[in-house]
Amino acid sequence: MRLCIAVCALFFAQSDPAPKFEVADVHVSPKGRNQLVRGGINAPGGRFEIQNASMLNLIQRAYGYPGPRILEGPNWIEMDRFDITANAPAGATRETQNLMLQALLEDRFKLVVRKEDRPMPAYALVAGKKPLLKEANGSGEPGCKPKAATGPPTEGGMRIGINGVQTVLGPGGSIEYNCRNITMEDFAAGLRRMFGANDLGENPVTDDTGIKGTWNFDVHWSIGFFGFNTDGGPKIAVAEAIEKQLGLKLELRPVSTPVLIVESVNRKPTENVPNIAHLLPPLTTPVEFEVADVKPAAPGGRGGGLRNQPGGRLTGTNVAMRLLLIRAFNTFNEEALVGIPDWVNDARFDIVAKAPVEPGQAQVDMQTMALMIRSLLVDRFKMTWHTEERPMTTYALVAVKPKMKKADPKERANCTNENPPAGAPPGSESLVCKDVTMDQFADALQGAAQSLNWPIANLTELEGGYDFTLTFSRFPQMAMAGPGQGGGGATPADSPLPTASDPVNSVSIFEAIDKQLGLKLTPRKQNMPVTVIDHLEQKPTEN
């Protein structure tokens, strides 16, 4: 017995302890931010930083489970948000950082989870009565690719880039894929990763067609989010496209799936150590590119986006000055940028720049990149600017005649963007909320439409959580089709959505909140911080 005790003690003493961050600053995220998670990549100086992350986001990152497979837990874990800054040992990999984040969540939030298998819905691809496939001859690169654009978009369409391929979205926000020399097994395995097929869930699609060999076919469906169905064209779901165009079917089946159960977690993290500011001082980050090539874009060029690439490289083709300003000040609130010249949309530039990075650093974070783009504009476009407070139109959420359903308090609170119901005007989207308080709803509304750029105050005096669906157009002017089109079916008589007799094509978020929820957004003037562009030249200095 004594020998066993001694050997066991030696074994555990030699076992490597779970890796931990050297020191960590954990706090609740400031209110009023855009609801986007930022960071989570290797920052300079061995830092791990993540901002505006929900507890669900943090558990996803730490344990590697997709959100739908993280179950149970308190109702706030999708809505409350946190900032974490930590020092990691030199050379810590992403996998090691994930283990450190697990230890941090267990230590600072007292997180307790367990792993198990549960039946979860997943799709199987099966053969219909008459598959509409053409046997391939074995030539050409196998796989499915978006149809390459060969000319300007048709009326109601738009050009986008996907995985390096320029393609055109057709009527109804539809995207066409050309599949060549592909097996049914490979088609099923890659289906969920194809653009617009995100509604197939997190589980892999399995091939149960029994069809052997390689095949050629084309398939198109509507991508179905953020108002891309702007022209009244028919909306085509992925399952509908596969059945009608390919003669195959997607069947939903329960599949035993690994899940993570949240048994308990504290809403408030334990306090930081008193000298946290001394232990985690702000990093001295570079604020200028090592080298940058900037020149006016050729007329009629394509592109328009900025790409933050590995190794500190920033590239952009045909980039509008407005986008450069938005990225320079790291804000999606264009009202927070004033004094912008009229030419910022028309003046476009090609940019290739290199930021200094440390060995092993994956990318430059958005905040550091913003400082570098800002310095670039100062140096090459002679930009000058200052900040001040100005009276801006903000909104308060008030109750008029509420018509929302009281929620089951056992539900997890969340608001998600989903496809609009049948009969919704073109360009519509739906915000589906479950068990959300009015404080949470007010936070979720910021940035939901063009005019909701500032924090929204909840003055409803309504207590508890509610379930409801809000259907509106994020960009009302984009709805170009006649009233009542674009939903694939008639609008019920008691629907709060417009019918064919309504004089408008779209529902603004203000109308939707009033008519569908019995609430109201009331405007009010409030001093808010803005950035004033004092001077900006249209032509850059020479390279």
Residue 171 has pLDDT above 90, yes or no: no
Distances (CA, A) of 475 to 160, 392, 506: 18, 21, 9
pLDDT of amino acid 486: 31
pLDDT of residue 236: 84
pLDDT at 483 over 90: no
Token pair listed for 313: 């490289």
**For residues 70 and 52, what is the distance between their CA atoms, to the nearest angstrom?**
19
pLDDT of residue 152: 62
Place of tokens 């232990």: 279
Sequence letter at residue 419: N
Does residue 179 register a pLDDT over 70?
Answer: yes
pLDDT the model gives residue 8: 52
The mean pLDDT value for 172-198 works out to 89
Candidates 449, 416, 417, 499; CA nearest to 223 is 417
Contact call for residues 377 and 383 (beta carbons, < 8 A): yes
Decide if pLDDT at 462 tops 70: yes
pLDDT of residue 265: 97
- Given a cut of 70, is residue 163 above it in pLDDT? no
Q: What is the 3-state secondary structure (H, E, C) of 259-293?
A: EEEEEECCCCCCCCCCCHHHHCCCCCCCCCCCEEE
Structure confidence at residue 504 as a pLDDT band (50, 70, 90): very low
Give CA–CA dist 111/59, Å, rounded: 9
pLDDT tens track for 12-68: 444 557 789 989 999 999 875 555 666 655 555 577 888 889 999 999 999 999 998
Strand 248-264 to 70-72 pairing = parallel
DSSP 8-state assignment for residue 170? B
**Which of 89 and 468 is assigned the larger pLDDT?**
468
Q: What is the mean pLDDT of residues 278-293?
A: 83
DSSP string, 21-40: -SEEEEEEPPTT--S--EEE
Buried b (16+ CB within 10 A) or exposed e, 473-500: bbebebbbbebbbbbbeebeeeebbbee
Average pLDDT for 326-343: 90
Instruction: Tell me which of 200 and 440 has the higher pLDDT.
Output: 440
More confident of the two residues 150 and 54: 54
By percentage, how much of the chain surpasses pLDDT 70?
Answer: 82
Q: Is residue 270's pLDDT more than 70?
A: yes
What residues does 396 pair with on adjacent strands? 457, 522
Which tokens hold the place of 151? Answer: 């000319």
Compute the mean pLDDT over every residue in the chain, rounded to the nearest whole number: 83
Q: What secondary structure letter does DSSP report for 305?
A: -
CA separation for the pair 362, 42 (Å, rounded): 6
Token code pair at residue 470 = 């809000």
Rounded to an integer, the average pLDDT of 459-469 is: 95
Question: Is-contact 441 397, C-beta < 8 A?
Answer: yes
Q: Which residue has the tokens 């931010």?
A: 33
Choose the most confident range, by mean pLDDT, from 40-54, 128-142, 239-253, 292-306: 239-253
Query: Average pLDDT of 236-255?
Result: 93
φ, ψ of residue 297 to 5 degrees: the values are -75, 155
pLDDT higher than threshold 70 for residue 370: yes
Q: Is 206 left (phi over 0), alpha (psi -120 to 50) or beta?
A: beta
Q: In this structure, what token pair is assigned to residue 217?
A: 């076919």
What's the confidence (pLDDT) of residue 500?
33
Indicate the domain borders of the chain: 2-111+265-279, 121-257, 291-384, 402-517
The pLDDT of residue 107 is above 90: yes
Burial of 4 by CB count in 10 Å (0-12 exposed, 13-18 middle, 19+ buried)? exposed
Residue 61, SS3? helix
Strands 457-458 and 384-399, sheet pairing: parallel
Asked if residue 380 has pLDDT above 90, the reply is yes
Buried b (16+ CB within 10 A) or exposed e, 437-457: bbbbbbbbbbbbbeebbbbbb
Decide if pLDDT at 466 tops 90. Answer: yes
Q: 3-state DSSP call for residue 168?
A: strand
pLDDT of residue 367: 79
Helices (H) and strands (E) in the chain, counts: 10, 26
